[in-house]
């Protein structure tokens, strides 16, 4: 019986019929191509996600704040006076209660206040008071850089 198996093997070898073995290697080229495309998409899309509401920020000569480990909470006051937390519209009468709910879930009390330059100062101060009443005591005012300085040396 063993000889018959050997004869069969010899015959198949002589005729050139070889059974195809399954390929044990993984072709990673398509995987790498897909990952590169996803990486490029996220690199292009990530900066676009940080800008929520278009506002015309006032310009100042102040330096930027250092980066934090937790995503900062952003409150925006639009030119029309509407208030938004991140990108969600919030009625002013609900602002303090929503902020108290948010501060309970966060580890940091830092909040960034973005206000359009055309918004009256009193409206900005009302929102700052609401932020403080909501539990946020570390308020950063967001501005664009490159604005005027009050330096006596530059006036000449």
pLDDT at 49 (0 to 100): 65
pLDDT at 16 (0 to 100): 58
The single-letter DSSP state of residue 16 is T
pLDDT at 69 (0 to 100): 64
pLDDT at 13 (0 to 100): 53
pLDDT at 37 (0 to 100): 92
| Domain at 59-145, CATH from 2.30.30.30, 3.30.420.40, 3.30.420.270, 3.30.2000.20 | 3.30.420.270
Percent of the chain with pLDDT over 70: 71
pLDDT at 66 (0 to 100): 62
Alpha helices in 74-144 (DSSP H): 95-105, 121-133
Asked whether 92 and 75 are in contact (CB, 8 A), the reply is no
Asked whether 138 and 130 are in contact (CB, 8 A), the reply is no
The single-letter DSSP state of residue 72 is P
Q: Where are the domains of the chain?
A: 59-145
pLDDT at 35 (0 to 100): 93
Q: Is the dihedral of CA 97, 102, 106, 112 positive or negative?
A: negative
Helix crossing, 121-133 with 95-105: angle to 10°?
50
Residue 53's CB: how many other CB atoms inside 10 A?
15
| Distance from C-alpha of 154 to C-alpha of 61, rounded to nearest angstrom | 13
Residues of the chain falling short of pLDDT 70: 1-17, 47-55, 62-70, 146-147, 150-156
Q: Which residues contact 82 (CB under 8 A, 6 or more apart)?
A: 89
């Amino acid at each position: 019986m063993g000889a018959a198996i050997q004869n069969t093997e010899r015959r198949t070898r002589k005729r050139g019929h070889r059974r195809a073995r399954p390929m044990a290697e993984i072709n990673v080229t398509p995987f790498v191509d897909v990952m590169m495309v996803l990486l490029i998409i996220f690199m292009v899309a990530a900066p676009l996600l940080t800008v929520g509401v278009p506002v015309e920020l006032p310009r100042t000569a102040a330096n930027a704040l250092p980066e934090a480990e937790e995503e900062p909470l952003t409150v925006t006051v639009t030119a029309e006076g509407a208030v938004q937390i991140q990108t969600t519209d919030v009625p002013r009468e609900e602002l303090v209660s929503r902020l108290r709910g948010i501060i309970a879930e966060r580890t940091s009390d830092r909040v960034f206040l973005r206000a359009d330059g055309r918004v009256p100062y009193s409206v900005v101060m009302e929102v700052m008071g609401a932020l403080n009443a909501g539990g946020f005591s570390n308020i950063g005012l967001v501005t664009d850089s490159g604005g005027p300085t009050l330096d006596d040396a530059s006036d000449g």
